[in-house]
Amino acid sequence: MDSDSPSRKWKIDHMGRVDRTSFLAILFTFMTVPSVACSLRIIFRTGTKRLFKWDDGFVVIATVFLITATACYYRLTDAFYLIEAKTTTPDFDLSLAETQKISGNGPTILLNFARCLLTAASFSIKASFLAVFRPLVRHVSLPLEYYFIFSVIYIPICFTFRVSLAFIICRGNLADQYQCLRTQQYLYLGLLCFFDISTDIVVVSIPIFILRLANLDMYQGLRIGFFLCLSSAMIIIAAVRTSSSLVHVVNGKQEASIIYTTLLIQIESGVAVLMGSISALRTVFTGAQRDDNGRAQSIYRKVLVKLSLSKGSEVSTHDAEHAVRMSTHKNSLVTMTSSRSWKDLFGRSDRESGQGTDNSTSNAQLDTLTEYHAFVYATPQNKTQSPSE
């Protein structure tokens, strides 16, 4: 059969579980949507005159990695489907030009580069959340601090393993890149699945430990639930990618499908970037809350009250909330809002519901992590005292 015939081209484009058109559509969808979400995040940050923080930088880096990897995968699309046709179809013969597309070091280096970029994108998002959680766990709970230190050490180790998998375990030409993931390589498959899922669980568990201290209303629960759903989706995608990417090849064995595996890695990284840019959607969840200021109470004020009661305070919840509210208007040590990181995590606006507009600027100057931790460890007597000038 002529290598340029329409029937042959159609057969190649429909190899595997996903045809070429669907492959490209999914590939660019999970590049475009997270990129737009990241752009909205940066617009909201600059629009509210906030500093460009570490978590913002990690999200932007992850988005750049995602876009670059998508361009690499688009460049390798022809080679992917030629490999799938050669591997799964016994009577399929490649022409000389087609063989050159999948041979040599160029395509292999490009594939390894794209794979490492997507891995780095996913772990950059995890690093961005660690940057957000860092000020929230300091000087609050010693076990939580130790757990955070463990997360900071454990996640880079997992990233190193993921990157080294492409260059140490999976060597060879482009057509042989996924042969290292045969069914007999149970150890590597198990470790890959374990590291993917465990790092996601480690990141998700930190805010869960913190939020146990607060009672959330419906709108606050929606925001946290949306974040946790995206995190759970990453865990599910990682499990599906590892367990269902194997296909039968011409020699009767099972190997990983290069098209299916590439697509799931792209989806996983796209969901990660979208999860990191979740603050771009804060107006969806905070709009209804602003219309009912009397009913909705800030998350961080509840956490402050809960932390205070957990330290042995005999003040009731109502009195503690009233003390926090009154101390804000007096520019006291305890402000009505907690650290700025709580605003970053939950997408709160710069001015809290019920807060005056005349002294909002001065109150923002007092909103520091020192005040947050001072409130946590303050005694009932010194909570009602104003700071010295």
User: Backbone phi, then psi, for 5, in 5-degree steps?
Assistant: -70, 145
Q: Residues 340, 350, 319, 210: what is their CA dihedral angle, to the nearest 10 degrees?
A: -40
208-267 residue pLDDT tens: 777 665 555 555 555 565 566 556 666 666 666 655 555 545 455 556 677 777 888 888
The residue among 334, 227, 266, 211 whose CA lies nearest residue 65 is 266
Question: Does pTM top 0.75 for this prediction?
Answer: no
Complete domains list, the chain, with CATH = 6-287 (1.20.1070), 297-383 (no CATH)
pLDDT at 85: 76
25-57 residue pLDDT tens: 989 999 999 999 888 888 877 777 666 778 888
Q: Where are the alpha helices (DSSP H) in 51-138?
A: 54-75, 77-88, 96-102, 105-137
The share of the chain scoring above pLDDT 90, in percent, equals: 9
Which SS3 state, helix, strand or coil, does residue 278 take? helix
The residue among 96, 93, 209 whose CA lies nearest residue 151 is 209
Structure tokens at 252: 């009767």
Tell me, letter by letter, the H, E, C secondary structure of 327-384. HHHCCCCCCCCCCHHHHHHHCCCCCCCCCCCCCHHHHHHHCCHHHHHHHHHCCHHHHC
User: Backbone phi, then psi, for 153, in 5-degree steps?
Assistant: -85, -40
Structure tokens at 184: 């007999």
Which SS3 state, helix, strand or coil, does residue 187 take? helix
Residues 386 and 319: beta-carbon distance below 8 Å? no
Residue 246's H or E segment, with its range, is: strand 246-248
The residue among 79, 18, 113, 80 whose CA lies nearest residue 258 is 80
Contacts of 257 (CB under 8 A, 6+ apart): 16, 17, 84, 178, 245, 246, 247
Contacts of 62 (CB under 8 A, 6+ apart): 38, 120, 121, 122, 124, 125, 128, 269, 272, 273, 276
Residues 30 and 233: beta-carbon distance below 8 Å? no
Which SS3 state, helix, strand or coil, does residue 174 take? helix
65-69, 247-251, 314-318, 349-353, range with greatest mean pLDDT = 65-69
Task: Return d(Cα 130, Cα 122) in angstroms, integer.
Answer: 13
322-362 residue pLDDT tens: 544 444 444 333 333 344 444 444 444 444 444 444 444 44
Above 50 in pLDDT, residue 379?
A: no
Contacts of 44 (CB under 8 A, 6+ apart): 279, 280, 282
The pLDDT-based confidence of 62 (bands split at 50, 70, 90) is very high
Task: Return d(Cα 31, Cα 35) in angstroms, integer.
Answer: 6
